[in-house]
Amino acid sequence: MHPAFSVIFFTTATGAGYGLLALTGVFFALGTVPQGRLFGFLALGLALVLITGGLLSSALHLGRPERAPRAFTQWRTSWLSREAVASVATYVPAAVFGIGWVVFASRHGIVASAGLLSALGALITLLTTGMIYASLKPIPEWSSPYTLPGYILFALMTGAVILNALLLLTGAEANPVRFLAPLLILAGWAFKTASWRHNDALKMPADAASATGLSGSVRSVEWPHTQANYLMKEMGYRVARKHAAKLRLFVHLAAFALPFALTLLAALSGGAFALVAACLAALIQAPGILTERWLFFAEARHTVMLYYGR
Amino acid sequence: MTGLPETTEKSLGLVIDLDTCVGCQACVTSCKEWNTGGHMAPLTDYNPYEDGADGVWFNRVHTFEEEPASGCGEGRTVHFPRSCLHCAEPACVTVCPTGASYKRASDGIVLVDEDKCIGCKLCSWACPYGAREMDMDVGVMKKCTLCIDRIYNDNLPERDRVPACVAACPVGARHYGDLGDPQSAVSQLVAERGGVDLMPELGYRPVNKYLPPRERDKAAPPIAAPALEPVAPEGGFLGWLDRVLSR
């Protein structure tokens, strides 16, 4: 599948934003993150920027962005429509949470409940995003059981790494994600490794014979056109195996190994060293998770290419 | 509404005979010609006269080589027209976030309302058959309409109220009718020839059916014409001329 940057940025940025919002909401309610306005402003502000930036980027991917509001209508059948509804609905508790915390510095139960509701909205939105991809049967790499948990896990992982860095940046006394961040990275690493192993053994859900109604061995000998068309550009994108191997290595390092080592070091040490390590982990993980998502698209195969013998 | 109708009054669709299709592309060009001025118009072309020529087409003919499991020497070339199958379970419709994609309860035709489409491309990802092509100029998705502007067109003579591809086929490899009616000519043709669904394992339940190529005769065809007789010597003027010239 064609790795469009708008969609790669959308899924990674909103993922990190919703992960950050969900964790901040839960830990605020538990009272384990600083309750001061500055921290609220930084954590919720960054989550808002990531989520809104991602949503705007996804709108740019549309052929007719001015009609985007229509996407809220078909939530009965469409996961994309459900995602649109859930993402906008999450702004409501998030706004109450943010205004209550940052503007009024309130520790009222309503603010804490709004934090928990924001976390719930964030998780539901992540679920709908994952389901858009997981429900596409022509693409075996996406309809795999790894897709949905992956979207949620990587969102919480990147959100925790950012939250960890923010907590150290503001000099917070308590840090509820000190060990949670490296733990989530380790879980994400194991999950991604397993999902790549699963995908490498995947067969297409159909073959050229069933795609054409013919029998025996069926080989494409001629295409209907001599130059690439929409189908080949959109569904026929292929990444060379040797490049994929190098990019996977980069993901292993940048998305998982280095952030894991750095967040673990930050958790075990203190002072300026911990601060630098935690910030470095977040900065290194960003290109890592973007590459992970690029591969999620570039390595996905679509059944229509059976008609082109590819 | 992107919910699917539980049943459709008719299931209009095509039956494509892979035994007789000669791959002439007449259905492809007549489809383009009709539809670039029809319901989904225009079918935009980009760089039509330069490198990187591309454009929107609803019907494309591929060519395959089929080698039966029975072994060597049995292989044959099969031309394979590919277009929307107007599935009974079209995921392209249910994934649509705006309601632009819909399946009609009256005749089962799957259509796009171009005025509602936001061009998110998701329906084209959901279609295993590559039936939908995005119009990059207009920014909306386009697809085969089964020529709704022909089949219900009172301004056309009745025999022309068939999809453009069916009207154009010079070898009668394309048949149009109600596949929901077991008594219809197309349904009987499918039953007689063992018509099949494409990618049935994905569960989209396509309406269009494909007729696999027939078993081939192993023996050479019998020669119908008699052997030539020697020419009888002619008399008269022509006989005299022949003798003079043969000297």
Residues B56-66 have pLDDT tens digits of: 999 999 999 99
- Is B240 a domain residue? no
- Is B140 a domain residue? yes
What distances in angstroms separate CA B114 from CA B101, B123, B133, one per listed residue? 9, 13, 13
CB contact under 8 A, A70 and B119: no
CB contact, 8 Å: B182 with chain A?
no
Amino acid in position A1: M
- Is B112 a domain residue? yes
CATH number at B137 reads 3.30.70.20
- Is B156 a domain residue? yes
pLDDT in tens, B203-212: 999 999 999 9
Which of A261, A298, A263, A260 is CA-nearest to residue A279? A263
- Quickly count: other Cβ atoms within 10 Å of residue A216's Cβ: 15
Q: Can you tell me the ipTM of this complex?
A: 0.94
Considering the domain A5-308 in this protein, what is its CATH number?
1.20.1630.10
Residue B112, H or E segment:
strand B110-112
pLDDT of residue B229: 67
CB contact under 8 A, A73 and B126: no
Instruction: Indicate the residue of B51, B56, B118 with minimum beta-carbon distance to A71.
Output: B118
**What part of A 204-223 touches B (C-beta under 8 Å)?**
205-206, 208, 210-223
- Give the whole-number percent of chain B exceeding pLDDT 70: 94
Mean local confidence (pLDDT), B130-151? 96
Instruction: Indicate the residue of B28, B135, B198 with minimum beta-carbon distance to A213.
Output: B198
pLDDT band at B236, cuts 50/70/90?
confident
- Is B244 a domain residue? no
pLDDT in tens, A199-244: 999 999 999 999 999 998 999 999 999 999 999 999 999 887 789 9
- Is B73 a domain residue? yes
Instruction: Indicate the residue of A62, A225, A235 with minimum beta-carbon distance to B120.
Output: A62
pLDDT of residue B224: 72
Residues (pLDDT < 50) of chain A are none
pLDDT of residue A60: 83
> Number of residue pairs across A and B with CB atoms under 8 Å?
205
Please give the tally of structural domains in chain B. 1
- Is B247 a domain residue? no
CB contact under 8 A, A220 and B54: no
Whether residue B29 contacts residue A185, with contact meaning beta carbons closer than 8 Å, is answered with no
Helices A180-200, A258-268: crossing angle, 10 deg rounding? 160
Whether residue A302 contacts residue B125, with contact meaning beta carbons closer than 8 Å, is answered with yes
pLDDT of residue B221: 67
- Tokens 């901040």 sit on residue: A24
Domain extent for B23: 12-211
Mean local confidence (pLDDT), B45-71? 91
Which of B31, B36, B11, B62 is CA-nearest to residue B166? B31
| Interface mutation target, options B44, B64, B70, chain A, most CBs of A under 10 Å | B64
pLDDT in tens, B144-200: 999 999 999 999 999 999 999 999 999 999 999 999 999 999 999 999 999 999 999
Residue A295, H or E segment:
helix A271-298
Instruction: Indicate the residue of B94, B118, B203 with minimum beta-carbon distance to A63.
Output: B118
- Is B187 a domain residue? yes
Smallest Cα distance from A187 to chain B, Å: 30
